[in-house]
Amino acid sequence: MALLEVEDLVKHFPLREGLLTRVLPGRRRVVRAVDGVSFTIDPGETLGLVGESGCGKTTTGRLVLRAIEPTSGRIVFDGEDITARPPGQLLPFRRKVQIVFQDPYTSLNPRMTVGRTVGEPIRVHRLATDRQVPDRVSALLDMVGLQPEHAGRYPHELSGGQRQRVGIARALAVGPRLIVGDEAVSALDVSVRAQILNLFVDLRERLGLAYLFVSHDLGVIRFVSHRVAVMYLGTLVEVTSTAALFKQPLHPYTQALLAAIPTIGDGRTSIFDQARLLEGELPSPIDLPRGCRFASRCPHRFARCDEAEPRLQAVAPGHVVACHLYEGGSA
């Protein structure tokens, strides 16, 4: 059974309009940040959610955590529908799903020691007596590669990488089954990023954690994910295993994304290959075009693309794409 099941998740943010627009009849404009997203995550699996800025991946991560309320759709975790559960009853859920934030410098309370920060979730959920907490904290710090002495330090005494480890320890404190990584390594230097990514993989193997790894960096996603979901302007355009995505990307946007990653070394391809350079900019998530959202920038656009939005369809086992090029179920 899937650990997390997300069905047709939608989040529309209302636009703050002027007084007149609010009073006059007509449809209110909204920002369609997440517009019908569905996916599953199995226990122990890492799903990489990738896309560029404004695609809705961060919002999706927040929705899964119930940090913000969905406009519509279903979220089923461990067999229980938690979509509409009132906030007061979410405490047990909060033990099972946790988050690691992007910015190590603002994700820790500067006035709290590491020990208190990591110990707080343990106390809130009453997972140990007051006397046991320091030992638990030490064990968690050890698990993320820090020393027990770090418990008495304040965030400003630690480096970015160390702070991020504290953030991970805090997330692990309640013993979650799924961790949402919100650009969890994007703000780190390259060498530190590698350390933390290794840590994520080690923890996954040791604790059987599932991850929803949100990132704009395909290299990172490739390293850490079992499966990848590519997002564009609020919808998923392609979902498949990591291997398949990088070996045979089907959606034109995925292809452009991969072509744009600057790779190094002798085997590299140029990112300046004219045929693959995407022209133009993203359309606004407020006034979306009628047909496929990617049509305005797609090199393979044809008539059908402007008429109807393509749906996610299976093109190969475990590989779904939302593109009219593959309509009928085969490439």
Partner 1 sequence: MARPLDAEALPAQAPATVATPGTSTARRWWRRFARNRGAVFGLAVFLAVVVMALCADLLAPYDPLIQGVGPANQPPTWAHWAGTDSFGRDMLSRIIYGARIALVVGIVAVLLAMLAGVSLGLVAGYYGGKVDALIMRVMDGLFAFPIIILAIAMMAVMGFGVKNVIIAVAVGFVAPFARVTRADVLAVKEEPYIEAARLAGVSGPAIIARHVLPNVLAPIIVQAALRVSGAIITESGLSFLGLGPPPPTPVWGSMIAEGRNFIVMAPHVSTIPGIALMVTIVGLNLLGDGLRDTLDPRLRR
Partner 2 sequence: MMRMTDPVLAVRDLVVEFTTEDGPLRAVDNVSFAVGRGEIVGLVGESGAGKTLTAEAILGLIRRPPGRVSGEVRFRGQNLLALEEPALARIRGKDIAMIFQNPGASLNPVFRVGDQLVEAMALHLGEGRGALRRRAEEILTRVGIPSAATRARDYPHQFSGGMAQRVMIGMGVACTPGLLVADEPTTALDVTIQAQVLSLIRRLARELGMAVLLVSHDLGIVSQMCHRVIVMYAGRVVEEASIATVFRAPAHPYTKALIACLPGLDEGGRLGAIPGVMPGLAALPRGCRFHPRCSMAEPRCAVEEPALRPAGADQIAACHLIP
- Tell me the helix, strand and coil percentages in the chain, rounded to 5: 35, 20, 45
Choose among partner 2, partner 1, none what residue 322 binds, the Cβ cut-off being 5 to 8 Å by kind: none
The site for partner 2 (CB under 8 A) is made up of: 52-53, 159, 161, 189-195, 197-198, 201, 216, 218-220, 222-223, 242-243, 256-257, 259-268, 270-272, 277-279, 281-282
Based on CB atoms, which residue is closest to partner 2, 201 or 314?
201
Distance, CA of 32 to CA of 56 (rounded, Å) = 9
To the nearest whole angstrom, how small is the minimum distance from the Cβ of residue 65 to partner 1? 6
Residue (56 or 167) nearer to partner 1, CB:
167
Dihedral over Cα of 75, 79, 84, 88: its sign: negative
Phi, then psi, of 8 in degrees rounded to 5 = 45, 45
User: Which lies closer to partner 2 via its Cβ, residue 112 or residue 278?
Assistant: 278
67 binds, among partner 2, partner 1, none (CB under 5 to 8 A by kind): partner 1
| Cβ-proximal residues to 285 (8 Å cutoff; 6+ apart), any chain | 31, 32, 33, 54, 56, 233, 234
> In terms of Cα–Cα distance, which of 35, 39, 15, 9 is closest to 27?
15
The neighbour count for residue 299, using CB atoms within 10 Å, is 12
- Pick one of partner 1, partner 2, none as the site partner of residue 271 (Cβ within 5 to 8 A by kind): partner 2
Q: Pairing relation of β-strands 178-182 and 97-100?
A: parallel
Residues forming contacts to partner 1 in the complex (CB under 8 A) are 65, 67, 90-91, 94-95, 98-99, 101-103, 105-112, 117, 120-121, 124-125, 139, 142-147, 149-150, 153, 156-159, 162, 165, 167, 170, 173-174, 195, 198-199, 202-203, 206
Minimum distance from residue 46 beta carbon to partner 1 (Å): 17
Distance CA 214, CA 216 (A): 7
Q: Report the nearest approach of partner 1 to the CB of residue 133 (Å).
A: 14
- Which of partner 2, partner 1, none sits in contact with 307, Cβ below 5 to 8 A by type? none
